[in-house]
């Protein structure tokens, strides 16, 4: 199969490119090489077209003879500064719209879309008295006082965190999250209008080789690893008890391969959690990585970034059912590998 892969030089995109090529697919690789993600121009194992997915003429040219698009290109990051909003919307949403329009013109009807668990916002919570509830925005005074668990919005009692299924309420709580949900909405509209099909893969906390190092655009695993390389203790916010699902980048690449090989229902967007199904805490990650690197123990400092959520873990059942995908890299094994894995240079490094 001939596949246009956007964001092909990125952390996740490059792993997908390796996996697709290894399984006999012809990959047309496109990447804008945004400095926030790459710092310096990365070495790639595959021929790469340097260009922007918003360049309609270029995208139309690259779509010739293509059977499917695997859309990974995006501006990533927490997006806490509203002044970043135009850039996030331009890269993620306008870029996706340009791509979808070009796919329509080219008659390409299959899309695998990189989405994210951030579209859920807070995870799924249950109150002993009121059942499933949606907690409100976390309050600065609670975080400052060390009250990190969101209370029931009806009775104020503690909530129990559960795994999030794909049909959960969507509640993006950052600029990046809002643009990822907008990508899903655009792709769903395209599918309805064209009869095409979309697999939206909602990645959970991805880690592994080739992550960008020491930059706010990287994930927490990279930030911890960068601190340890400097001989510093990883800094853990809140109390370290935040639950997440850490999934290795090779598993994410395998999930994309599975999505390429299985057609979604025509005329709709089909969202699928891509996760390990084995939740861990942020503190667990920091401790395991410190041990693997032989570095200082993590330092728990309290506080939280604006719009951070407390718990978000995933239900892996649908990925198994519709893709035949199950994560294979165990957490301990993946962290040990990550402790020695090559990272990308941080922005501005040489």
Q: How far apart are CA 72 and CA 31, in angstroms?
A: 9
What the block records as the tokens of 38 is 């790459």
- Taking each helix axis from N to C terminus, what angle separates 282-293 and 220-229, rounded to the nearest 10 degrees? 30
Q: How far apart are CA 336 and CA 221, in angstroms?
A: 12
- Cross-strand bridge partners of residue 207: 248
176 is known as an active-site residue = yes
- Taking each helix axis from N to C terminus, what angle separates 220-229 and 331-340, rounded to the nearest 10 degrees? 50
Asked whether the beta carbons of 225 and 296 are under 8 A apart, the reply is no
Which residue among 176, 203, 207, 217 is the active-site one?
176
Neighbours of 257 (CB within 10 A): 20
Asked whether the beta carbons of 4 and 16 are under 8 A apart, the reply is no
Q: What are phi and psi of 132, to 5 degrees?
A: -65, 130
Neighbours of 349 (CB within 10 A): 12
Residues taking part in catalysis: 176
């Amino acid at each position: 199969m001939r596949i246009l892969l956007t964001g092909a030089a990125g952390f996740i995109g490059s792993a997908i490119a390796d996996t697709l090529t290894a399984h006999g697919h012809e990959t047309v690789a496109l990447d804008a090489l945004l400095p926030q993600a790459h710092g310096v121009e990365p070495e790639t194992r595959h021929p790469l077209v340097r260009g922007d997915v918003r360049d309609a003429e270029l995208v139309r040219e690259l779509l010739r003879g293509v059977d499917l698009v695997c859309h990974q290109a995006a501006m990533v990051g927490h997006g806490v500064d509203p002044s970043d909003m135009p850039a996030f919307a331009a890269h993620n949403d306008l870029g996706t719209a340009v791509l979808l329009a070009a796919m329509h013109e080219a008659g390409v009807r299959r899309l695998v879309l990189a989405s994210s668990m951030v579209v859920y916002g807070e995870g799924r919570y249950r109150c002993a008295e009121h059942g499933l509830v949606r907690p409100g925005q976390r309050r600065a005074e609670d975080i400052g006082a060390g009250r990190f668990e969101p209370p029931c919005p009806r009775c104020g009692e503690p909530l129990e965190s559960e795994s999030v299924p794909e049909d959960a309420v969507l509640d993006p709580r950052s600029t990046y999250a809002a643009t990822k949900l907008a990508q899903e909405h655009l792709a769903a509209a395209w599918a309805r209008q064209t009869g095409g099909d979309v697999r939206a893969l909602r990645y959970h906390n991805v880690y592994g080789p080739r992550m960008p190092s020491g930059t706010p655009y990287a994930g927490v695993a990279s930030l911890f690893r960068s601190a340890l390389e400097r001989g510093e203790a990883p800094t853990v916010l809140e109390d370290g008890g935040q639950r997440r699902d850490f999934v290795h980048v090779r598993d994410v690449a395998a999930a994309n391969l599975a999505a390429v090989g299985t057609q979604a229902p025509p005329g709709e967007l089909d969202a699928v959690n891509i996760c390990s199904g084995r939740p861990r805490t942020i503190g667990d990650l920091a401790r395991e990585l410190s041990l693997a690197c032989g570095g200082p123990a993590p330092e728990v400092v309290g506080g939280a970034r604006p719009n951070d959520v407390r718990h978000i873990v995933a239900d892996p059942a649908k990925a198994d059912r519709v893709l035949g995908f199950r994560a294979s890299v165990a957490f301990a094994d993946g962290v040990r590998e990550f402790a020695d894995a090559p990272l990308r240079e941080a922005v501005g490094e040489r």
